[in-house]
Structure 1
């Protein structure tokens, strides 16, 4: 069973909830597919037992010994990645047009390292994660690799919780493809509602079972009602409503899951939500 934690926008509390559900599930494989801003591992003390270089694409390289400085590559490049016969790796998209236009065949595409991937072993299980290089783009290929890498450690077919990127882009699509269920975390703001509609449409196109969590539902009751109407209209499952709680900020600062703050309203609400989620995924 793969449960993907998603949000239409950043800052809704997606990782906070992913961490809490992972703790409540106990026997779980954690995969941090929010490759542009991975932070799930910060909540755990562990040791990296596997580290690999990930090559997500290619970049052009000019061999100065063969280059006749005709300038055709610089004129042809639509990304302005070539200047004074040198390729800017941050601007190069690896399209290969320059390799075709070069009369001396002085340009070739080489594999470009975009990230390092890790399997981190903790006392709560493993985390499959990545650290991207500066300037690299989050790719669906990297997300797919992380998911497959995590599956190697799921011999008992236990629950896998995926902390996905916010939005509806390529990394999100790669996170939900072939998964069993998604939990969409939203907040009662105008942008939160509109982004929820977009990510819901994406998940519906993949025919996924969709559950909804309204985080900080009490900061704007009017929009919370709008979200509830949308959920009912689309026949989705509203599994949890979590109130605003300053203790969540404390838990993040202390790098501890909110479920360990027993007097917290958010703690109680998350635990109630987990009971509701289990009814649907087990």
Structure 2
């Protein structure tokens, strides 16, 4: 079983559309949406949820206003400035700033503060028309998204082993944050989706540096390559200089949007379109790289 994670240095590069297309080509695979903060692979794969699990993203302090003496000790000791005074002079916790350290709870002379586990997050085991899928939904401003990515990837691999699947295909998050780090750790390879723009290449370089630090092999797709063919050549030069295998180039096409509007991958929407045929060749090349003894070397 091989695991491949699709990543991009920035949002809008087309990562999820390409992942969905590959999902429709990958036979005997398990899919995992690692972009837990803003997941959208489900919009195309339309998963049918079979299991729902809560995820503890940390702790959050609550102040009992009936017990509180308004001494403001909690406000004075909070290092995160998460406690403020409301209009009636009572201290109140800003849930977006509270780190759940429990210092205020321990020092409150009136025992008016309690810390509760924050369970405003869920992860799911689902089934799609292409196979099993693990995905999640986090509340706005919730913490420990990297930990959640690790949990759903573990479950995806567990299902893959049980079903003797050939691949786990992860739709990773954009950028180089905690969720990206959790998506890279332990994967067999990264498929980097780059758009030929200055910002696209700049952010891709940062991501390549991160992936290299984990010594994970990388291959790349240049998406929307024809919007700037001159800069596409610059991207190709960068990939060649850094010994990153370019598995394909995909032109800009409104058909990606049209397929998403009807909740289909491009492969399903237009199976004989030149871009679909190109994607089929790309997936074939990725498979060969993954199963070869030399991998991406």
Q: What is the TM-score with the length of structure 2 in the denominator? A: 0.89
> In 2, distance between residues paired with 1:262 and 1:29?
22
Question: What do residues 35-72 of structure 1 show as CA deviations (whole Å, max 9, x unaligned)?
Answer: 11111122234421100111111111224455332111
**Which segment is superposed worse, 20-29 or 161-170?**
20-29
Determine the structure 1 residue equivalent to 2:94. 88
Name the structure 2 match of 1:244: 252
Name which of 157, 167, 178 aligns with 2:175: 167
Q: Determine which of 218, 237, 247 is the counterpart of 1:229.
A: 237
1:188: how far off? Answer: 0.2
Residue 152 (structure 1) aligned to one of 142, 158, 162:
158
Point out 4+ residue stretches in structure 1 off by more than 6 angstroms. Answer: none
Structure 1 segments unaligned to the other structure (5+ residues): none
How far residue 265 of structure 1 moved from its aligned partner, in angstroms, is 2.9
Greater shift, 201-210 or 225-234, is seen at 225-234
Distance 1:31 1:281 in 2: 18
1:48 aligned counterpart, secondary structure: strand
Structure 2: unaligned runs, 5 residues or longer: 292-297
Which deviates more, 202-211 or 85-94? Answer: 85-94
User: 1:9 matched to which residue of 2?
Assistant: 10
Matched residue, 2:43: 42
Describe the superposition over 1:58-88 as per-residue Cα deviations: whole angstroms up to 9, x where unpaired: 1112244553321111123243322322222
Structure 1 partner of 2:193? 185
How well do the aligned residues superpose, as a CA RMSD in angstroms?
1.7
Q: Could you say if the C-alpha distance between residues 203 and 67 of structure 1 is closer, same or farther in structure 2, counting changes exceeding 3 Å?
A: same
Shift in Å, 1:8: 0.2
1:211 corresponding residue in structure 2: 219
CA distance in 2 between counterparts of 1:122 and 1:242 reads 26
Among 181, 198, 221, the alignment partner of 2:206 is 198
The residue that corresponds to 1:67 in the other structure is 68
In the alignment, which residue of structure 1 is the partner of 2:147?
141
On the 8 A contact 1:244/1:266 being kept in 2, the answer is: no
For residue 96 of structure 1, report the CA deviation from its aligned partner. Answer: 2.8
- Greater Cα shift, 71-80 or 170-179: 71-80
Deviations 1:144-175 (A, max 9, x none): 11111222311114200000110000001001
Q: Is the contact made by 1:8 and 1:198 (CA closer than 8 Å) also made in structure 2?
A: yes
In the TM superposition, residue 138 of structure 1 has moved relative to its aligned partner by: 6.1
How big is the shift at 1:249?
1.7
Please say if 1:254 is aligned against 2:262. Answer: yes
Structure 1 residues 157, 248: CA separation in 2 closer, same or farther (over 3 Å shift)?
A: closer
Cα displacement (A) at 1:3? 0.3
- Cα deviations by residue, 1:179-224 (Å, 9 ceiling, x for unpaired): 1000000100000000010000000000001001000111101211
- What TM-score do you get using the length of structure 1 for normalisation? 0.94
- Greater shift, 182-191 or 227-236, is seen at 227-236
- The separation in 1 between residues aligned to 2:281 and 2:252, in whole angstroms, is 16
**Secondary structure of the corresponding residue to residue 183 of structure 1:** strand
User: Match of 2:58?
Assistant: 57
Aligned to 2:295: none
